[in-house]
Amino acid sequence: MTSEFTFPKIHSFPPLYTKQPNATILSTQLDSWSQIILQYCEYFRITSMTLNGTVKSSQLVDVGKSDSLPPLFVNNAINRSVSADFQSAIFSHLIHKVKKAEYINPKNPELGIYVYWRSITEWAQLLYDFVDKTGQLGTVLTLYELTKAEDSGLPESLRNLDEELLVKVLKDVLIKQGRAQLLMDDEGGIGGVKIV
């Protein structure tokens, strides 16, 4: 399935790989890159990336470790690539202007970014709906049960969701709304989640 993805035509436009000097054009260019990144990540279900544009985590098992993905910032057909500087400008645009990404740890940007082709509120709603529909509101569930369990009615949209992102969704949305509680185990890890 990895070969079916096609980049939009602008990905083959040579100047797309050079930071444009004209400010109006530059903002169009950064918007185009943002759209490309979002389409790419949604297609391969990539939820986080390194700052070089490689996959950090994906819900698709074979995407996470394979080199078979078409590279995002390199176009071998036209022999063009995006410089490291320009890559960080693009990510910064995606984070601050388009607001569809966030540093995994703002104090340590090197760790990479979450890409929100689905917002964390939407992720939270999917989780809540799943727990609600399967009649498990108020039950203590493990993180495993929320993203990996078989035969539990777990929808494909949630399968293999990156655990780091799952915890962020719980903490930033559901706990804040008072719809979830975390239960810690002896070692200070997350032993279970109760969604109410």
Indicate the residue among 24 and 108 with the shorter CB distance to other proteins. 24
Indicate the residue among 25 and 183 with the shorter CB distance to other proteins. 25
Neighbours of 77 (CB within 10 A): 8
Q: What is the smallest separation between the CB atom of 176 and other proteins, expressed in angstroms?
A: 33
Out of 5, 15, 119, 140, the residue judged to bind other proteins by CB under 8 A: 15
Out of 2, 6, 18, 50, the residue judged to bind other proteins by CB under 8 A: 18
Indicate the residue among 19 and 194 with the shorter CB distance to other proteins. 19
- By CB under 8 A, is residue 153 in contact with other proteins? yes
- C-alpha distances (whole Å) from 12 to each of 4, 9, 53, 118, 142 are 17, 6, 17, 26, 45
Tokens 């966030």 identify what position?
A: 102
Name the segment binding other proteins (CB under 8 A); options: 49-57, 73-81, 160-168, 179-187: 73-81
- By CB under 8 A, is residue 152 in contact with other proteins? no
Quote the CA–CA distance of 62 and 93 in Å, as a whole number.
Answer: 29
- By CB under 8 A, is residue 148 in contact with other proteins? no
- By CB under 8 A, is residue 20 in contact with other proteins? yes
Out of 1, 3, 4, 24, the residue judged to bind other proteins by CB under 8 A: 24
First vs last Cα of the chain: how many Å apart?
A: 38
Q: Is 87 exposed, middle or buried (0-12, 13-18, 19+ CB in 10 A)?
A: middle
Quote the CA–CA distance of 163 and 176 in Å, as a whole number.
Answer: 19
Quote the CA–CA distance of 12 and 74 in Å, as a whole number.
Answer: 10
Q: What is the smallest separation between the CB atom of 10 and other proteins, expressed in angstroms?
A: 5
Indicate the residue among 17 and 128 with the shorter CB distance to other proteins. 17
List interacting residues with other proteins (CB under 8 A): 9-10, 13-18, 20-22, 24-25, 27-29, 79-81, 151, 153
